[in-house]
Amino acid sequence: MMKACYDNRELSWLKFNERVLEEAKDENNPLCERLSFLSIFQSNLDEFFMVRCGSLYDQMCEDPDFRENKTYMTCKEQLTAIYARVKELLRDKDDVYEDLRAELSMQGVDIVDFHTITVEEANWLEAYFKAEIEPLLSPQIIGKKQPFPFLQNKSIYAVVVLEKKGTQKLGIVPCSSGVFPKIVSLPTGKNRFILAEELILHFVPEIFSRHTIKSKSLIRIIRNADIEPDERMEEECDYREAMEQLIRERRKLCPIKLEFSRLMDTAVIRTLCDYLHLTEEQVFYSEAPLNLSVLSTVRDMLRHNKCLFYQRRVPQEPDWRNTNKTMMEQVEEKDRFLTFPYESIRPFLTLLHEAGNDPQVVSIKMTLYRVASNSKIVEALIEAAENGKDVVVLVELRARFDEENNIEWSRRLEDAGCRIIYGLDNLKVHSKLCLITKKENNEISYITQVGTGNYNEKTSAIYTDYSLMTANHEIGLEANRVFHALCLGQTVEHTEHLLVAPKCLQNKLADMIDEQTALAQNHQPAYIGIKINSLTDKYLIEKLIEASKAGVKIEMIIRGISCLIAGVPGETDNISIRSIVGRFLEHTRIYIFGAHDNCHVYISSADWMTRNTRRRVEVAAPIYDEEIKHRILEMFDIMMSDNVKARVQQPDGSYIHAEESEPLINSQEYFYAQAYERLEKAQASSSIELES
């Protein structure tokens, strides 16, 4: 029997994306930032269909009776519920788009159509179409000698119903070729433009001039992207080649969703569904543009107006940074801690460069999951290898949608002399772990870095993440054991300090939850604080429910999916769950066990999802430095007090904005202001010391 405190994973994710859409709707956000949230809502939804709906569809075909283990819905039931909810969200999206479009017009930027242009503009567009676009188009009429074409994932096509001598056929025109601009600026106004696909659709009668146009629409399909390399692929070619083959195959997977922008006859939709092997419930109508990424161009038009954007914020140097000492010296003195995006990633980059040039450093080992397209971190590793260091890099080629970038970096690292590992069989390596090994006077020492986010300079400025750098010898030894196991294609079996999935994370988390449960049963203070992106691991959820029933106070900050529902009488009374969706993507993972004055604190790369706890290599690091521990606890408390960007989960699984009260606390803005203040105080203190 399903408990009332469980939510379906996919439907919970849709609630998260609804919170993103709310940010696009929120008039307290600057206009251009609202455009970004609307675009993010769509790109999130695209990936959701490509991965999650694709996975459910495949599973439904393989085993129609399979039920997930929380709400016991079949794949078919989940997909039906998803499709219905998405159609509601798309109506909300269309309303938000129209509101934003009207506000843009007030700022002098007009996204026009043929109902809102002048005669002069119409004449200019016709001439432009004939001269600049029509020669580049590849129209097609579907027939016996021209079969239905392959439609590219996320590309836009104009579809028309043609009639000639009483016979109807379909015509298709690609609108996303990349050889002409996505938007066309009108010469009669500085910031008046029309989308290229709208221009093509309007002049489609010119393209099919020998036919009568009965109806027309723009369409866009989303294809299944749920594919992994199988054993056959890996046996027939090397692993990197297998991943390249996988990328080619992914582009050809079956459609999972059809979007259209004009109302069409039901018979036409059925015909398209037949060609694409879709059901009508997989068809979605949108009044807003089918590709909202063009809104980035609109943002660029308004860059001059700073009021339409968030206040500029620059990642700050940490207040502990001493430019008179090397980073390696500072880490060896004391554990060091960085909070992104509030503090800069530069100290870690400096650490890597120093290690690559230090004669006492013998090796650098690192796991890479997602890196920037122009990665300074990879450049530092290449520099170290060229300096004769033993550089071992595990490049996870299965980082979804980053495979091509990772393949290219793996080649460059290999060419520079780095030793490359491509991960483990059936286990993705998602950990953020770096180990610098030194040898001085026959003594081995380590500097270990453990992070919650990717080694990526770009995301370090827009994601909230933590980075711990420590010279703790015991942690270094365990990190070395992790890399030793990875080099042998194995995983660690036992740890004392680090929590390392798949064998030493879930069980240790469960033990720490049990310890708090036992304390509560003995009427002693008991507390659990968790900040993660997603919660789906049923084993850990059951442990949390047991703890709640025993009286443990449990506070959780979960950005996205939560299959646990808080506040359900008799089950989760002592659990509270909130989600923070704001300017930066919340990405830190924090585990707190015990009352604040006597607690264990960890930071980690792992969410509490079965894929993380049982099917990936993940690392959580203990925080032993009391100053850093205090800072993390303080930040957690501030996030729990956020009453501007936080939503609080209700006992029915819905989310409402946290109740506003004075003082208003936007945790992300609070931490940025704090980073500025900490650095200013440190600089002022340094100036006083110099003067004295």
pLDDT tens column, 508-564:
999 999 999 999 999 999 999 999 999 999 999 999 999 999 999 999 999 999 999
Closest CA to 356 of 399, 316, 378, 385: 385
Residue 243 banded pLDDT, cuts 50, 70, 90: low
Both structure tokens of 412? 């460059």
Average pLDDT of the segment spanning 354-376: 93
Closest CA to 391 of 360, 349, 362: 362
Catalytic residue from among 430, 473, 600, 657:
430
430 annotated active-site: yes
Residue 203 banded pLDDT, cuts 50, 70, 90: very high
Residues recorded for the chain: 692
φ, ψ dihedrals at 335, nearest 5°: -60, 140
The reported pLDDT for the residue numbered 232 is: 47
Q: Is 80 exceeded by the pLDDT of residue 226?
A: no
CA 456 to chain centre: 13
Both structure tokens of 67? 């039920």
In 3-state terms, the chain is what percent helix, strand and coil (to 5)?
40, 25, 35
Cβ 31 vs Cβ 103: under 8 Å:
yes
Pick the range with the lowest mean pLDDT from 46-50, 486-490, 593-597.
593-597
Average pLDDT of the segment spanning 66-82: 96
Neighbouring CB atoms inside 10 A of 330's CB total 20
The reported pLDDT for the residue numbered 233 is: 46
Average pLDDT of the segment spanning 70-98: 97
Q: Is 90 exceeded by the pLDDT of residue 239?
A: no
Rounded Cα gap, residues 521 and 547, in angstroms = 9
Average pLDDT of the segment spanning 91-97: 97
Rounded Cα gap, residues 331 and 342, in angstroms = 20
pLDDT in tens, 387-406: 999 999 998 877 666 677 77
The reported pLDDT for the residue numbered 227 is: 67
Rounded Cα gap, residues 194 and 114, in angstroms = 9
Closest CA to 444 of 398, 402, 476: 476
The reported pLDDT for the residue numbered 137 is: 94
Q: CB-hemisphere CA count at 13 Å for 526? A: 25
Looking up tokens 């013998």 gives 362
The reported pLDDT for the residue numbered 248 is: 64
Q: Considering the entire predicted model, what is its pTM?
A: 0.94
The reported pLDDT for the residue numbered 551 is: 97
Percentage of the chain lying above the pLDDT 70 cut: 94
Which DSSP string do the residues of 213-271 spell out, in sequence order? EEEEEEEEEEE-------HHHHHHS-HHHHHHHHHHHHTTSPEEEEEESS---HHHHHH
Average pLDDT of the segment spanning 152-160: 94
Residue 407 banded pLDDT, cuts 50, 70, 90: confident
The reported pLDDT for the residue numbered 691 is: 60
Closest CA to 545 of 522, 579, 575: 575
Please give the residue that has the higher pLDDT: either 301 or 195.
Answer: 195
Q: Is 90 exceeded by the pLDDT of residue 374?
A: no
Percentage of the chain lying above the pLDDT 90 cut: 79
Please give the mean pLDDT across all residues of the chain. Answer: 92
pLDDT in tens, 297-341: 889 889 999 999 999 999 999 999 998 999 999 999 999 999 999
Average pLDDT of the segment spanning 574-600: 95
Neighbouring CB atoms inside 10 A of 692's CB total 5
Using CB atoms within 10 A of its CB, is residue 436 exposed (0-12), middle (13-18) or buried (19+)? Answer: buried
pLDDT in tens, 7-30: 999 999 999 999 999 999 999 999
Given the DSSP bridges, would you call strands 255-260 and 616-622 parallel, antiparallel or unpaired?
Answer: unpaired
Pick the range with the lowest mean pLDDT from 195-209, 389-403, 567-581.
389-403
What would you report as the CA-atom Rg of the chain, rounded to the nearest whole angstrom? 27
Order the strands of the 183-185 sheet from edge to edge: 110-111, 192-195, 183-185
Closest CA to 476 of 421, 438, 429, 503: 438
